[in-house]
């Protein structure tokens, strides 16, 4: 059941399949983290139109139970930034431009189509671009599936096996106010000094792949004279990415050891994940990609995804997969070739069928939808 839309992109001749229509509609609905309701309702409506059990749970995830041999899951939310939704002619055919087309609405829509075609379990999660609240909630409110395919852009011929972990924190310092000509270090300088020492510990090595290094990034900083004029204050938010060779605890301890002035509040800690390329799931993906005429590539991502969360809580095989060039994530020129989207759907369907999805359908959730959830 398609939702009526007057968006011009939906009138383009290239939007000629149900999958492409769903993709374009979802990209056309703003779904920044925390504001996913409209997109979630459209996604739930797609499953309802195909007579699939579906509900939106208490945190906002779209859950469509099915054969739990494979759980297809991707995130509904996007980062901020408006990009006009339109179809453009690219080198390899029509491309859909718009925020989320690559990260990760292309993955989300391709998985929804594959779930309907094969009967696989499906969950569209919220909040991946912020706190991964949808994934954390999911792992606390359902049993582990047999296998997970997490939707993130890898290119239709790529399979992502690993992600670095994430440490987030906030540094806070204060110092007495005084004339700027005084040699005493103020709070801003204390913040700069501590961060310089942290960067020195994890100084980049040009001979080592980025995936195997700890990288440091300040993401926000504020400082200056306090409101009452009696002190100088500094607050810096930062991120550290953690490779599989290290643990978040180890990286945190090394950073804390350099702290002499001020305090650090560690707000997020997500371990890295690296899966074996020789698993049955990875093997089946390689075979399916080859059957579609592709050349399989095994990838390691320098960022962090919901796959890290699932690996922390569930002991099952998993990979990340989805159409799109991940170098376009969060950029102002985010766009997805529609032929690549179609190829990803075919690969996902082939993978599910090779794994026996649909041979014996079982419920994906250990809990039934409550009246409250079903009414949402």
**Cα-to-chain-centroid distance, residue 323:** 13
User: What is the maximum span of the chain, computed from C-alpha positions, in angstroms?
Assistant: 77
258 assigned binding-site residue: no
What is each CA distance from 336 to 73, 89, 110, 178, in whole angstroms? 19, 11, 12, 55
**Do 135 and 309 meet the contact criterion of CB atoms below 8 Å apart?**
yes
DSSP tag of 3 = P
Stated length of the chain = 376
Beta bridge partners of 214: none
**Do 320 and 152 meet the contact criterion of CB atoms below 8 Å apart?**
yes
In angstroms, the CA 110 to CA 129 distance is: 19
152 assigned binding-site residue: yes
Beta bridge partners of 358: none
129 assigned binding-site residue: yes
Catalytic residue among 25, 68, 95, 128: 128
37 backbone dihedrals φ, ψ, rounded to 5°: -55, -50
* 260 is known as an active-site residue: no
* 128 is known as an active-site residue: yes
Tokens of 10: 């939906």
**Do 323 and 340 meet the contact criterion of CB atoms below 8 Å apart?**
yes
Among 362, 372, 285, 330, which Cα is nearest to 100's?
330
Q: Is 30 helix (H, G, I), strand (E, B) or coil?
A: coil
Buried-state track 317-329, b at ≥16 Cβ within 10 A, e below 16:
bbbbbbbbbbebb
DSSP tag of 157 = T
Catalytic residue among 77, 233, 340, 365: 77
268 assigned binding-site residue: no
342 assigned binding-site residue: no
In angstroms, the CA 74 to CA 82 distance is: 21
Give 63's Cβ-side CA count (13 Å radius). 27
What is each CA distance from 219 to 99, 171, 216, 252, in whole angstroms? 21, 12, 10, 17
The annotation places the binding site for Zn(2+) at: 75, 103, 129, 152, 330
Catalytic residues: 77, 128
The annotation places the binding site at: 75, 103, 129, 152, 330
């Amino acid at each position: 059941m398609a939702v009526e839309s007057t968006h011009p992109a939906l009138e383009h001749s290239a939007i000629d399949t149900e999958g492409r229509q769903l993709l374009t509609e979802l990209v056309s609905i703003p779904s920044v983290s925390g504001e996913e309701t409209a997109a979630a309702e459209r996604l739930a409506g797609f499953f309802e139109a195909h007579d699939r059990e579906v509900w939106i749970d208490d945190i906002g995830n779209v859950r469509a139970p099915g054969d739990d041999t494979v759980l297809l899951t991707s995130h509904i939310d996007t980062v901020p930034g408006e990009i006009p939704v339109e179809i453009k002619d690219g080198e390899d055919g029509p491309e859909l431009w718009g925020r989320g087309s690559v990260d990760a609405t292309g993955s989300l829509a391709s998985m929804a189509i594959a779930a309907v075609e094969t009967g696989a379990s499906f969950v569209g999660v919220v909040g991946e671009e912020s706190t991964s609240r949808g994934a954390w909630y999911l792992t606390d409110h359902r049993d582990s599936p047999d296998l997970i395919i997490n939707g993130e852009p890898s290119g239709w011929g790529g399979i992502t096996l690993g992600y670095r972990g994430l440490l987030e924190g906030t540094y806070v310092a204060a110092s007495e106010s005084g004339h700027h000509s005084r040699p005493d270090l103020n709070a801003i300088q204390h913040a700069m000094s501590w961060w310089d020492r942290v960067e020195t510990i994890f100084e980049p090595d040009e001979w080592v792949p980025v995936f195997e290094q700890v990288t440091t990034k300040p993401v926000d900083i504020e400082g200056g004279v306090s409101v009452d004029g009696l002190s100088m204050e500094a607050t810096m938010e930062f991120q550290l990415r953690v490779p599989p060779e290290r643990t978040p605890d180890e990286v945190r301890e090394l950073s804390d050891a350099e702290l002499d002035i001020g305090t650090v509040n560690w707000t997020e800690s997500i371990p890295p994940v690296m899966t074996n390329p020789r698993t049955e799931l990875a093997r089946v993906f390689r075979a399916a990609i080859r059957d579609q005429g592709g050349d399989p590539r095994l990838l390691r991502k320098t960022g962090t995804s919901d796959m890290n969360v699932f690996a922390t809580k569930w002991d099952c095989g998993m990979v990340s997969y989805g159409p799109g060039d991940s170098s376009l994530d969060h950029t102002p020129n985010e766009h997805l070739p529609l032929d690549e989207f179609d190829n990803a759907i075919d690969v996902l369907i082939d993978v599910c069928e090779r794994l026996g999805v649909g041979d014996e359908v079982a419920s994906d959730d250990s809990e039934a939808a409550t009246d409250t959830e079903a009414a949402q």
